[in-house]
A and B are shown apart, each in its own frame.
Chain A
Amino acid sequence: MNALTMIKIITLFILLSSGTNLKAFAVEPGEILSNPKLEARARSITKGLRCIVCQNQSIDDSNASVARDMRLLVRERLIAGDNNKQVVDYIVERYGDYVLLRPPFQTNTLALWIGPPFLALIILFIIIRFLITQRNQSKSSSDHLTFSDSE
């Protein structure tokens, strides 16, 4: 293998491994707003909205056509003067809570939010119980030892 093929392989490797960076360019140049403040708000909103056809990807990351349409809509609403919450509500009204990558805290998502910390607490409780009983056990066995020593 000569030096040239080596360089080629390394370049290819770098290009492939930088795939995650390339993904960030789903937003096309023509979509970007000239007002950088509005554009920053648009980006922060679209990062929190799920692309409905691509499972667990935000519309900011996705090249899907419906994601692009939604990105444009978000910018359109911002230009019209909506605040961030109004923009998100506009989309949720049409697509439901499903589009929120961060689900809201409400009755039907209670298990989702409470479940993990609840399980963690149970596990913590079990571990503490286990440690206490173990300590008591070793204490009583050492008591036994001293007893037998004195005997």
Chain B
Amino acid sequence: MDIHNQKIKRILLTLPILFFVVLIGILALLTLETREGRDPSIVPSALIGKKAPTINLPAISDDIPGGFTRDDLLGRVTILNVFASWCAPCLIEHKQIEKLSEIGIPVFAINHHDKVTDVTLWLKKHGNPYEAIGFDPDGRASIEWGVSGVPETYIINANGFITYKHSGPITKSVLKKKILPELEKAKK
């Protein structure tokens, strides 16, 4: 009887330790994942693998090329970039957007929660690499695209399906390590 009791006691004592070790293991794995660039605070997009939303976006003004629907995206791999003149990271990624346009990728844009005068001035000052810009002052179209904040960038394949989404600014390394390879994948 005593031996049996001791056995149970020993098991009871090791249980919390075992539990603790497993917990630490799980946390360590999660930390490593974050270190490899998977940020758990970034919402995974529900729209990947789905058809791009059919949304009819007006142009900002007559002077700026803009206004498009999903049909304009079909037939080639395109990029859709969500930006605003008030968004500082958007300015950071502007050079990379220009680069994408230079290598022949049609870049479309949703201008998110902006004012006509502000965005017109911004484009004049920093350049307009976009094929067409859709004006979305009330953020309604952004919801259709599942946008959570600016900047956000989507890759759409020739059939109009969303294949990739990047949240946050496209830096040089993001362009090289993520966007360009994903563009190649979308072309297949």
Contacts and interface: CB of A to CB of B under 8 A. Distances in A.
Physical interaction between A and B: yes
Interface of A: 52-53, 55, 65-66, 69-70, 72-73, 91-98, 126, 129-130, 133, 136-137, 140
Contacts, number: 56
Nearest to B149: A53
B148 A65 contact: no
B22 to A, nearest CB: 12
B113 interface: yes
7 closest A-B pairs by CB: A96-B46, A69-B139, A94-B146, A52-B148, A52-B43, A95-B146, A98-B43
Given A95-B43, A96-B146, A130-B8, 8 more contacts: A52-B43, A66-B143, A66-B148, A69-B140, A94-B144, A95-B148, A96-B43, A96-B44
Contacts of A97: 46
A136 B1 contact: yes
8 contacts: A53-B149, A65-B139, A66-B147, A69-B138, A72-B138, A94-B47, A94-B53, A133-B8
A144 to B, nearest CB: 12
Contacts of A69: 138-140, 142-143
The main secondary structure of chain A at its interface with chain B is helix
B46 A95 contact: yes
B12 interface: yes
Contact of B46 (A93, A136, A137): A93
B117 interface: no
A94 B138 CA distance: 17
Given A126-B12, A126-B15, A73 B140 contact: yes
Nearest to A66: B148
A11 B126 CA distance: 50
A70 B44 contact: no
